[in-house]
Amino acid sequence: MSNNKNLDPHNLANPAKRIVVGIQFLFVAFGATVLVPLLIDIDPAIALFTAGVGTLIFHFITNGKVPVFLGSSFAFIAPIIAATKLYGYAGTLGGIIAVGLVYGIVSAVIKLWGLSVIEKIFPKVVVGPVIMIIGLSLASVGVDMAKTNWLIALVVLATAIAIVTFGKGLLKLIPIFIAIIVGYVFSIFADLVDFSSVNDAAWFALPKFITPQFNWAAILYMIPVAVAPIIEHIGDMYAIGGVAEKEFVKDPGLHKTLLGDGIATAFAGFLGGPPNTTYSEVTGAVALTKITDPRVLRIAAVTAIVFSLIGKISAVLKTIPQAVLGGIMLLLFGMIASIGIKTLVDAKTDFSITRNQVIVSIILTIGIGGAQISYGNFSLAGIGLASIVGVILNLILPKDSKNVK
């Protein structure tokens, strides 16, 4: 009797179908993956390459069991921009590598003492406002880029909103990708795109990798930013587990998935790429298509690597006008802030309790206000400082604070 009934019905036995679906999954992640390097002013080919290799690293460490794709993390855009102004991008890369090592340390903590330790140190009342300031701290950057051409920015914004609101199926999962294309085409007709660099670009070209520098000030600046992405990673593992109907937090284990994410992020830092994170967009595509075969995601990763080696693609991406990116940012960073609010709502955070009010208020004020602590060459500011202060307040404030009347 055939053993086909014992096979996972979500696996794709046909290699050709796996390749087609894998490429499709890459396009779900493509817009967000290349948007981050464009915003921090580095070669998008680096991000594609490190995302692809990082995904393969993740799959190797997790025994190829988890159907995820790692792409550029939005959580680090604001701190990378700020740290680059202070320490240069090469110095910031040292901080990104350190963030990857922090993931490894947290992975070891989870392995030894369980997830409860992390939940105690990083509760939702801390994580929620930290996510909010990640989005809100870049609001002015988005407006500055959009105002270079408000008409185009608003076309892009309207396209993204329409897709998010009315889109169906796979289309709803790629609002960034579609909005950028619409804005780019609109810009071409408005004669705002210069193709000379595309004509000069080689078809085959290695990404312009950047060598990191290690600066303690930059490292200490970046490390606290890891708080929100770590919590995001934990949520994503539960989410993809629910989609695949498997407990990935147990097998291969949350410690392994976080370690895979961390090593992928450190690898990106060594080559000059932005930190990686598990992509919710791809998880949504997995849920939509019901295809949970991890091999499909590895095909998406290999495709990203191939795309990173095509010089024309990188050249085209660099011609995207600032107004197009600004239009996306107007929606994107507001949505990141709204995820922070949702985190607090889902956790049923009681704002009649004094300690909750204090923790959220101080994190928001420090993060959005750009507070900074400096001592010699050491500096801690913005999101990183707000995260640390939030953790400390949560640990020292009494749990039985009386309700505000």
Q: Judge whether residue 92 has pLDDT over 90.
A: yes
- Asked if 188 and 198 count as a contact pair (C-beta separation under 8 A), the reply is no
Percentage of residues in the chain having pLDDT higher than 70 = 94
Q: Can you tell me the distance from the alpha carbon of 333 to that of 142, in angstroms, rounded to the nearest whole number? A: 8
How do residues 131-147 score in pLDDT, each as one tens digit? 888 778 778 888 988 99
How do residues 162-211 score in pLDDT, each as one tens digit? 988 888 877 777 788 888 899 999 999 989 988 888 888 889 988 989 99
Read off the tokens for 295. Answer: 């091999």
**How much helix, strand and coil, in percent to the nearest 5, is found in the chain?**
75, 5, 20
Report which of residues 196 and 383 the model is more confident about: 196
* 252 alpha-carbon distance from chain centroid: 22
Give the residue from 204, 209, 172 showing the smallest Cα distance to 50: 209
Contacts of 264 (CB under 8 A, 6+ apart): 50, 53, 54, 55, 57, 58, 70, 100, 276
DSSP code per residue over 226-282: GHHHHHHHHHHHHHHHHHHTS-TIIIIIHHHHHHHHHHHHHHHHHHTPPPEEE-HHH
Q: Can you tell me the distance from the alpha carbon of 186 to that of 168, in angstroms, rounded to the nearest whole number? A: 23
Using omega within 30 degrees of 0 as the cis cutoff, is the peptide bond preceding 252 cis?
yes
- How confident is the model at residue 93, as a pLDDT? 96
Mean pLDDT for the chain overall: 85
Interval 102-116 mean pLDDT: 90
Q: pLDDT grade, residue 13 (50/70/90)? A: low
Q: Can you tell me the distance from the alpha carbon of 318 to that of 74, in angstroms, rounded to the nearest whole number? A: 19
Q: Judge whether residue 395 has pLDDT over 80.
A: yes
Report the predicted TM-score, pTM, of the whole model to 2 decimal places.
Answer: 0.80
How do residues 21-53 score in pLDDT, each as one tens digit? 788 788 778 877 888 898 888 899 999 999 999
How do residues 312-358 score in pLDDT, each as one tens digit? 988 888 888 989 988 888 887 788 788 888 889 988 999 999 999 99
Q: pLDDT grade, residue 75 (50/70/90)? A: confident
- Asked if 79 and 203 count as a contact pair (C-beta separation under 8 A), the reply is no
Q: Can you tell me the distance from the alpha carbon of 262 to that of 341, in angstroms, rounded to the nearest whole number? A: 26
- Asked if 96 and 222 count as a contact pair (C-beta separation under 8 A), the reply is yes
Phi, psi of 308 (to 5 degrees): -65, -20
- How confident is the model at residue 184, as a pLDDT? 92
Residue tagged 């923790």 (tokens): 359
User: Beta strand 372-375 with 276-278: parallel, antiparallel or unpaired?
Assistant: unpaired
- How confident is the model at residue 1, as a pLDDT? 38
Task: Tell me how crowded residue 79 is: count the other CB atoms within 10 A of its CB.
Answer: 24
| Helical packing angle, 311-318 and 294-308, nearest 10° | 80
- How confident is the model at residue 130, as a pLDDT? 85
Q: Can you tell me the distance from the alpha carbon of 110 to that of 116, in angstroms, rounded to the nearest whole number? A: 8
How do residues 254-296 score in pLDDT, each as one tens digit? 999 999 999 999 999 999 999 998 877 787 778 777 788 899 9
Interval 301-318 mean pLDDT: 90
* 371 alpha-carbon distance from chain centroid: 24
